[in-house]
């Protein structure tokens, strides 16, 4: 395992050195090329992701394989972009077109804090960086990787983009303090929460879904604003969309009806993934805990 981690770190370091000095467009193109090579070295992962995609979207194996290969390419582009954040932080308005900023602004100006919920779609890191660069105090939750060097690099790059490191998603005390200060927290909610989550349809199939954002909204009255940063077809240009803050059902505040709140959020995220299936992380086993029978 250590040898594998050392190899990955060496490749990442070389890749970082190259894309940092290239102009932005060629760097992103190189990232896409490198991403397209990864499936040749992870054939098992490619097969599993393609089977998952075909089953969930109810499409042919051939079509699913094309989608997943493009998803690898998008991940390569996004990685190159993320690595270039120290260079691009002040220039994000040149490549990111924003829609619905008033939805974020209204939620932020309410003063109770904002949870920006998103998915691993397009380039989610640039969404947080754009907010930080445009006057919105953005906090990023910690992401522990197998290699501590990669964990440190992620935090370094987020800081370079203007985001503050908040700690782990399980650190509710830190999250509450940030929201009480009226700040913003970016929360990806398309991950398997295992036994800590509630089962909710995700792309039409039951999946364990994180509930922290809905519980915090209920407890603190903070707004929950969905946001998605997607790529223009095969380019380095991005679109960042902010939706209106989520509302609860039957006139209740969002989060009061926990199941309904999670279902509505998943439904919105699922719609974006269906629209841009080749920009989502099919390599991740989103439905695993339910499929393994962790829930009755």
- Write down the mean pLDDT value for the chain: 94
Assess if residue 115 is contained within a domain. yes
Is residue 293 included in any domain, yes or no?
no
Q: Please give the structure tokens belonging to residue 76.
A: 């390569």
Taking residues 100-108, report their average pLDDT. Answer: 98
- Asked if residues 258 and 214 have their Cβ atoms less than 8 Å apart, the reply is yes
The answer on 14 and 137 residing in a single domain is: no
Say yes or no: 127 and 38 in one domain: no
pLDDT at residue 233 above 80?
A: no
Same domain, 225 and 198: yes
147 secondary structure, DSSP code? S
Question: Which of 83, 110, 145 represents a domain boundary (last residue)?
Answer: 83
Q: Is 134 found in the same domain as 260?
A: yes
Contact between 136 and 108 under an 8 Å Cβ cutoff? The reply is: yes
Per-residue pLDDT tens over the stretch 44-64 = 999 999 999 999 999 999 999
- Could you tell me if residue 218 is inside a domain? yes
Helix, strand counts (H, E) of the chain = 12, 9
pLDDT band at residue 295 using 50, 70 and 90 as cut-offs = confident
Domain shared by 184 and 58, yes or no: no
- pLDDT (0 to 100) of residue 140: 86
CA–CA separation, 256 vs 144, rounded Å?
Answer: 31
CA distances from 277 to 56, 119, 147 (A): 11, 12, 29
Query: Do both 190 and 224 map to the same domain?
Result: yes
Q: How do residues 72-100 score in pLDDT, each as one tens digit? A: 999 999 999 999 999 999 999 999 999 99
Indicate whether 34 and 98 sit together in one domain: no
57 and 97 inside one domain: no
Q: Are residues 103 and 42 located together in one domain of the fold?
A: no
Length of the chain: 296
Domain count, the chain: 2
Does any domain span residue 284? no
Domain contains 287:
no
Give residue 2's Cα distance to chain centre: 27
User: Which pLDDT does position 168 carry in this prediction?
Assistant: 67
pLDDT band at 1 (very low <50, low <70, confident <90, very high): low
Element (H, E) at 140: strand 138-141
Task: Among 33, 56, 83, give the residue marking a domain's end.
Answer: 83
Supply 164's token pair. 């503050």
* Residue 295 counted as domain residue: no
* pLDDT at residue 13, as a whole number: 95
Asked if the structure places residue 264 within a domain, the reply is: yes
Helix pair angle (61-83, 24-37), 10° resolution: 140
Quick check: is 268 in a domain? yes
C-alpha–C-alpha distance, residues 162 and 118, integer Å: 18
Q: What is the DSSP letter of 257?
A: S
Q: pTM of this prediction?
A: 0.94
Q: Are residues 158 and 242 in the same domain?
A: yes
Cα separation of 88 and 23, whole Å? 10
Shared domain check, 235 and 131: yes
Contacts (Cβ under 8 Å, ≥6 apart) of 203:
56, 57, 270, 273, 274
Continuous segment of H or E residues that includes residue 35: helix 24-37
Same domain, residue pair 37 and 5:
yes
pLDDT in tens, 145-202: 888 899 889 989 999 999 988 866 667 888 999 999 999 999 999 999 999 999 999 9
At residue 236, does pLDDT exceed 90?
no
Q: Which of 111, 271, 268 is nearest to 182 (CA)?
A: 111
Q: Residue 170 has what pLDDT?
A: 60
pLDDT at 144: 74
| Residue 145: predicted pLDDT | 80
Q: Rounded to whole angstroms, how far apart are CA atoms 213 and 51?
A: 31
DSSP run (H or E) holding 216: helix 212-220
What is 36-47 written as a DSSP string?
Answer: HHGGGT-HHHHH
In the prediction, which pLDDT does 20 show? 96
Would you say residue 234 has pLDDT above 90?
no
State the residue range of the domain holding 230.
92-277
36 against 233, higher pLDDT: 36
Q: Pick from 83, 113, 147: which residue ends a domain?
A: 83
Question: Which tens digits make up the pLDDT trace of 111-140?
Answer: 999 999 999 999 999 999 999 999 999 998
Predicted local distance difference test score (pLDDT) of residue 169: 61
Average pLDDT over every residue of 230-238 = 88
SS3 labels along 60-96: CHHHHHHHHHHHHHHHHHHHHHHHCHHHHHHHHHHCE
């Amino acid at each position: 395992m250590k040898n594998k981690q050392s190899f990955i770190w060496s490749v990442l370091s070389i890749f970082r050195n190259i894309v940092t000095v290239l102009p932005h467009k060629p760097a992103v193109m190189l990232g896409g090329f490198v991403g397209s090579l990864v499936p040749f070295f992870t054939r098992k992962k490619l097969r599993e992701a393609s089977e998952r995609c075909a089953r969930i979207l109810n499409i042919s194996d051939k079509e699913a394989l094309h989608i997943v290969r493009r998803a690898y390419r998008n991940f390569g582009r996004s990685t190159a972009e993320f690595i270039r954040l120290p260079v691009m932080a002040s220039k994000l308005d040149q490549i990111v077109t924003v829609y619905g900023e008033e939805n974020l602004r209204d939620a932020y100006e309410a003063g109770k804090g904002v949870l920006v919920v998103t998915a691993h779609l397009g380039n989610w890191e640039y969404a947080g960086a754009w907010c930080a660069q445009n006057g919105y105090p953005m906090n990023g939750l910690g992401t522990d990787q197998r290699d501590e060097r990669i964990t440190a690099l992620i935090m370094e790059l987020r800081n370079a983009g203007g985001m503050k490191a908040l700690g782990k998603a399980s650190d509710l005390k830190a999250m509450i303090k940030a929201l009480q200060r009226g700040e913003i927290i970016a929360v990806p909610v398309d991950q398997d929460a295992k036994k800590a989550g509630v089962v909710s349809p995700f792309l039409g199939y039951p999946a364990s879904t994180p509930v922290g954002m809905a519980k915090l909204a209920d407890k603190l009255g903070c707004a929950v604003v969905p946001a998605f940063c997607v790529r223009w077809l095969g380019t380095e240009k991005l679109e960042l969309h902010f939706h209106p803050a989520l509302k609860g059902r039957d006139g209740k505040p969002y989060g009061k009806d926990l199941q309904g709140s999670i279902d509505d959020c998943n439904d919105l995220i699922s719609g974006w993934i269906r629209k841009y299936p080749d920009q989502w992380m099919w390599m991740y086993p989103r439905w695993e805990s339910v499929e393994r029978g962790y829930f009755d």
